[in-house]
Amino acid sequence: MSTDASMPNAVVEQPFLLCVDDEQNILKSLRRLLMSEPVQLLTATNGNEALALMEQHAIDVVISDMRMPEMDGAEFLKHAYHKQPDCYRILMTGYADMQSTVAAVNEGRINRYIAKPWNNQELLAAIADGLKMRQLQKANAVLQQRVIAQNQQLKLLNQDLEQRVELRTAQLKQTLAQLKISNAQTERTNSALLKVLYNQISMNPSIDGRFALRVSSHCRAVARQLGLALPQQEQVAIAGLLCEIGLSGLTAAQLSKPMYLFDANDWIRYREHARYAEEILTPAVALAPMAEMIRHQYEQFSGQGWPDKLTAEHIPLGARILAAVRDYHGYHGGRLLGRSLLQPDAMRMLRQQQGTVYDPQVLIALQEILAHDVVEPQLVATNRQGLSLDELQPGMKLKSSVYNQKNMLLIPDGTVLTTTLISKLRKLLAGQHETMRFLIDPEVQDPAQPTG
């Protein structure tokens, strides 16, 4: 057991790194490698020695060999985890030790394993990751202590501040009470929060937010026509709304070229936006079904599509709906050919590729909703429909979402208006050229609603 330490006054701030290996030449190699690193290096030749050091020091990173006498790396890391669970654990193992490595992962809860013989740069990078994680953990602990201290100081503030805190607490309780009244209202609010991502599309001058609204509306209608349940209809609609969010990952040069001038290479680069969208949405677990639909929107019914060459029913239904609706608006709006096609002509272009590119059943459903002009309320409202801003009253419930002239979502449908929201709308829509009309649900108009 040994400790490498120099400059006692500087060691206090340096993190502890513990290396455990029964071979002295390995420990010497690690000492040489880490000589210039800003750490206090501790070494041990077996698990018991290492555990004894952990009784004396708060270890930040531990590196352990797998094969050691008396106590192997898996068992040692298991004890190390129970002794100091915040310690970052790295296991060094040979390829022949994979079964033991699995045990170390399951029981020792290692953070990283390095194959022997190791690559110096890879090992240094792993150590740096571990030290960074420990630094963040320590900073978080300090921050938590600071928050606790500040909470204690709040008790000493003057009466005026206490009254303001009480007022904010009362407002929060009132808001929570309103959320508990209606679970449906909560679900609509959560859905609206997801749609905030849509605003990222509308803010990008190279991406058409209005196109996203049209695609979303018809995706929902086709899903309804096909008999999908309401939650699935909402998922397909959100996928349509966000289907082009990945375009933010393309270059300005790629976005500036009209689609009707694309060659084969342009299409290969362009469709990468579906993969970028999946990466953007991956951290949001609740958006996983929509991310999958967007990822597979360029699959083809015959199996010749991208990225996974899925066929027919193996392609998520939401992706099949999205592909047909997206390209219908591409033809109808002039994106794909450089000229706008009438509705029958746009559908004729899709039917020419049914069974190869598009799902025939999806095209039938799309044709049905187009024949009956089934679209969302916000896409058909005119200046003669709905109420003016001055006619809005607290307690009224919006039947359609409110968008500004840049197609950015301001307030989602289903929101019950309050005095505060109406005042906010006046500020957000000030200076807008067009006179906006608001569609109101006639079944929900309760002027007794809270005004906050």
Distances (CA, A) of 167 to 164, 299, 342, 370, 452: 5, 55, 58, 52, 12
Instruction: Choose from 252-261, 335-344, 371-380, 434-443 the range with maximum mean pLDDT.
Output: 335-344
pLDDT category of residue 427 using cuts at 50, 70 and 90 = confident
- CATH class entry, domain 204-375: mainly alpha
Whether residue 75 contacts residue 109, with contact meaning beta carbons closer than 8 Å, is answered with: no
pLDDT in tens, 35-82: 999 999 999 999 999 999 999 999 999 999 988 888 988 889 889 999
Mean pLDDT of all residues in 310-330? 97
Q: What is the pLDDT of residue 70?
A: 86
Domains 2-137 and 204-375 share a fold: no
Residue, of 242 and 375, whose pLDDT is higher: 242
Residue with the bigger pLDDT between 142 and 376: it is 142
Which overall architecture, per CATH, does domain 2-137 show? Answer: 3-Layer(aba) Sandwich (3.40)
Long-range pairs, 247-254, Cβ under 8 A, ≥24:
247/201, 247/204, 247/206, 247/207, 247/273, 247/276, 248/200, 248/201, 248/204, 248/207, 248/276, 248/280, 249/273, 249/276, 249/280, 250/276, 252/206
Task: Give per-residue pLDDT as tens, 251-306.
Answer: 888 888 899 999 999 999 999 999 999 998 888 788 899 999 999 999 999 999 99
**Are 47 and 79 contacting, i.e. CB atoms less than 8 angstroms apart?**
yes
Most confident of 122-126, 163-167, 171-175: 122-126
Whether the predicted pLDDT of 97 surpasses 70: no
Whole-prediction pTM = 0.51
How much is the pLDDT for 196?
61
> What does the mean pLDDT of the chain come to?
83
pLDDT of residue 8: 44
Q: What angle do the packed helices 360-371 and 317-332 form, to 10 degrees?
A: 50
Domain ranges of the chain: 2-137, 204-375, 381-445
Helices 183-202 and 209-225 pack at an angle, to 10 degrees, of: 140
